[in-house]
């Protein structure tokens, strides 16, 4: 039975990390707000992506570090305690329960409707609830779509018969497969190959291109590939999976055929082949959009092809920067924008202004949790070439740092800084090496703050830490200049 429509200022669809933050900010701006969720509040990140994957990787990375510390190396040779690792993962995934998020949502004054939401026209949303009711919602100011993404499975013969792993199975499994094939050499592929190899699987990484982590500086993928190989991962580059099947039925192994006719067998196959927007069953056709497509937005997160300025898309679903922290940044800005527009206030839409998304394309920080870690922000040389930016490139070998030698015997790592030649500011930084993740915020501040090089000389890194790389990069630039692209 349908109830009478409930009117709110703001209707948020999807309670992943991004939807939760949009709702919080909209409510904080004085707007009545409801959020709709069909699975668990907290979304992919909390239960099947960031949290469980990092929980699986933390012991792996700590053991890799310990193995390089003199005096600890022998103690760190033991296999991982799988029960303890999985118990940690289960805890970090909140045991796949969202009670804490419900309590939090309640505390910030946002209403919750559980069920599957679909647009039914401008400013209108119908929610089909688990108890088969339809709740109708209308929005006075904004509907904000934060429905995220799911694994984009390639259209390969047999794929629907082999029970392929996606990020959900690969972050939630309790049993270690004997042989795991991972398709895709992006972030998900390399992180989960790292985790499952260390947990005891024999991992084969099937990569279409010529290297790993192709959107980052090439040295990052090379360092990660070298360590994966040392750990026993069979990396095959330049290969294309053309079909998959379980010849002995669902319990048997997966036979994987490659474009060159080669075959291999695995117990499970993980597709880490990118993401697809969750917009196929969202009623997009009722507002003139095509179901299943990404939602293109302007810098205020309004969907560009929908008139009236009431439809926003925030987080993964707008494809600007598919990371939790970046989506939450967008959520804070979008909440402020919706609040300001509702109050009739003027918007500050200049770059880095309060009402424009800037960091999600000019200063996107990312950490890849592998051994070694990779951390990058801002431009890469590839991006600089593509966009025609005038930059100079400065490289430094991290193993030369006293801090790196203290950190680990035989430390291997590298850093690259891109200097904007005209403005003499830092346009991008990439670090690859053990322990570099926590260095990243220093680089993010330099890039987003557009800190002049002359002032960076006064930001003195402590001795002996890996952060002395900042000083060495500046000295290299002073003494040798940067290499123009």
Ligand X SMILES: Cc1cc2nc3c(=O)[nH]c(=O)nc-3n(C[C@H](O)[C@H](O)[C@H](O)COP(=O)(O)OP(=O)(O)OC[C@H]3O[C@@H](n4cnc5c(N)ncnc54)[C@H](O)[C@@H]3O)c2cc1C
Ligand Y SMILES: NC(=O)c1ccc[n+]([C@@H]2O[C@H](COP(=O)([O-])OP(=O)(O)OC[C@H]3O[C@@H](n4cnc5c(N)ncnc54)[C@H](O)[C@@H]3O)[C@@H](O)[C@H]2O)c1
Q: Return the number of the residue (32 or 46) whose C-beta is nearest ligand Y.
A: 46
Q: Considering only the stretches 8-16, 211-219, 376-384, 437-445, report the one whose residues sit in contact with ligand X under the rule CB under 6 A.
A: 8-16
Q: Which does 291 bind (CB under 5 to 8 A by kind): ligand Y, ligand X, none?
A: none
Q: What Cα–Cα distance (Å) separates residue 92 from each residue in 36, 192, 393, 437, 483?
A: 24, 16, 39, 20, 44
The residue from 15, 162, 205, 419 that contacts ligand X (CB under 6 A) is 15
Minimum distance from residue 328 beta carbon to ligand Y (Å): 13
Q: Return the number of the residue (322 or 419) whose C-beta is nearest ligand Y.
A: 322
Q: What angle do CA 388, 389, 391 make, to 5 degrees?
A: 130
Q: Considering only the stretches 39-47, 129-137, 269-277, 329-337, report the one whose residues sit in contact with ligand Y under the rule CB under 6 A.
A: 269-277
Q: Return the number of the residue (22 or 256) whose C-beta is nearest ligand Y.
A: 256
The dihedral built from the CA positions of residue 22, 23, 28 and 33, taken in this order, carries a sign that is positive
Does position 9 bind ligand X by CB under 6 A? no
Does position 468 bind ligand X by CB under 6 A? no
Minimum distance from residue 316 beta carbon to ligand Y (Å): 8
Q: Which does 189 bind (CB under 5 to 8 A by kind): ligand Y, ligand X, none?
A: ligand Y
The residue from 274, 461, 464, 482 that contacts ligand Y (CB under 6 A) is 274
Does position 195 bind ligand X by CB under 6 A? no
Measured CA to CA, the distance from residue 412 to residue 415 in angstroms comes to: 11
Minimum distance from residue 146 beta carbon to ligand X (Å): 5
Are the C-beta atoms of 211 and 222 separated by less than 8 Å?
yes
Does position 188 bind ligand X by CB under 6 A? yes
Task: Please report where in the chains the tokens 């907290």 appear, as a residue.
Answer: 42
* β-strand partners of 7: 138
Contact set for ligand X, span 104-123 (CB under 6 A): 116-117
Contacts of 412 (CB under 8 A, 6+ apart): 223, 226, 372, 398, 399, 433
Q: Return the number of the residue (193 or 401) whose C-beta is nearest ligand X.
A: 193
Q: Return the number of the residue (242 or 293) whose C-beta is nearest ligand X.
A: 293
Residues 177-216: x/- map of binding to ligand Y (CB under 6 A)?
------xxxxxxx-x----------------xx----x--
The residue from 324, 370, 380, 381 that contacts ligand X (CB under 6 A) is 324
Q: Which does 177 bind (CB under 5 to 8 A by kind): ligand X, ligand Y, none?
A: none
Q: Return the number of the residue (323 or 417) whose C-beta is nearest ligand X.
A: 323
Pairing of strands 263-266, 268-271: unpaired
Contact set for ligand Y, span 355-414 (CB under 6 A): 366-369
Q: What angle do CA 306, 308, 313 make, to 5 degrees?
A: 50
Minimum distance from residue 182 beta carbon to ligand Y (Å): 10
- Number of neighbours of residue 70 by Cβ within 10 angstroms: 7
Distance of CA 107 to the CA centre of its chain: 28
Q: Which residues bind ligand X (CB under 6 A)?
A: 13-19, 36-39, 43-45, 49-50, 53-54, 116-117, 146-149, 167, 171, 188, 278, 282, 315-316, 322-325, 327
Q: Which residues bind ligand Y (CB under 6 A)?
A: 154, 183-189, 191, 208-209, 214, 241, 272-275, 322-323, 366-369
């Amino acid at each position: 039975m349908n109830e009478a429509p409930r009117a709110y200022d703001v209707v948020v669809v999807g309670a992943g990390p991004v939807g939760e933050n949009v709702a919080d900010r909209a409510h904080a701006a004085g707007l009545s707000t409801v959020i709709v969720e069909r699975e668990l509040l907290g979304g992919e990140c909390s239960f099947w992506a960031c949290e469980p994957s990092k929980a699986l990787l933390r012991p792996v990375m700590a053991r890799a570090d310990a193995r390089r510390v003199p005096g600890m190396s022998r103690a760190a040779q033991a296999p991982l305690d799988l029960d303890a690792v999985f118990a940690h993962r289960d805890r970090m995934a909140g045991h796949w329960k969202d009670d804490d998020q419900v309590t939090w949502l309640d505390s910030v004054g946002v209403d919750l409707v559980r069920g599957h939401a679909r647009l039914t026209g401008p400013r209108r949303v119908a929610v089909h609830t688990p108890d088969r009711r339809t709740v109708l919602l209308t929005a006075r100011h904004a509907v904000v779509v934060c429905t995220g993404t799911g694994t984009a499975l390639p259209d390969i013969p047999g794929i629907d018969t082999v029970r392929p792993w996606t990020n959900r199975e690969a972050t939630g499994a309790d049993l270690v497969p004997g042989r795991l094939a991972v398709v895709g050499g992006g972030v998900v592929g390399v992180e989960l190959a790292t985790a499952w190899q260390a947990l005891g699987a024999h991992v084969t990484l099937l990569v279409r291109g010529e290297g790993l982590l192709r959107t980052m500086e090439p040295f990052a993928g090379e360092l990660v590939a070298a360590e994966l190989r040392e750990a026993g991962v069979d990396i095959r580059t330049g290969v294309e999976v053309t079909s998959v099947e379980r010849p002995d039925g669902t319990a048997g192994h997966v036979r994987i055929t490659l474009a060159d006719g080669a075959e291999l067998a695995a117990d499970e196959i993980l597709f880490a082949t990118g993401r697809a927007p969750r917009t196929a069953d969202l009623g997009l056709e009722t507002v003139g959009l095509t179901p299943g497509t990404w939602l293109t937005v302007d810098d205020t997160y309004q969907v560009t092809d929908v008139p009236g300025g009431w439809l926003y898309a925030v987080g993964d679903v707008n494809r600007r920067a598919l990371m939790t922290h970046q989506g939450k940044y967008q959520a804070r800005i979008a909440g402020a924008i919706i609040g300001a527009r509702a109050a009739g206030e003027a918007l500050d839409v200049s770059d880095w202004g309060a009402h424009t998304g800037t960091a999600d394309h000019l200063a996107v920080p990312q950490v890849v949790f592998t051994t070694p870690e990779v951390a990058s922000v801002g431009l890469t040389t590839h991006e600089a070439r593509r966009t025609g930016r005038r930059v100079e490139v400065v490289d430094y070998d991290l193993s030369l740092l006293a801090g790196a030698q203290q950190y680990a015997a035989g430390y291997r790592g590298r850093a690259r800084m891109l200097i904007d030649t005209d403005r003499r500011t830092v346009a991008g930084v990439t670090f690859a090496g053990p322990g570099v993740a926590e260095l990243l915020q220093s680089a993010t501040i330099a890039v987003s703050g557009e800190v002049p090089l002359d002032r960076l000389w006064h930001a003195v890194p402590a001795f002996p830490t890996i952060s002395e790389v900042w000083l060495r990069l500046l000295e290299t630039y002073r003494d040798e200049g940067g290499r123009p692209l």
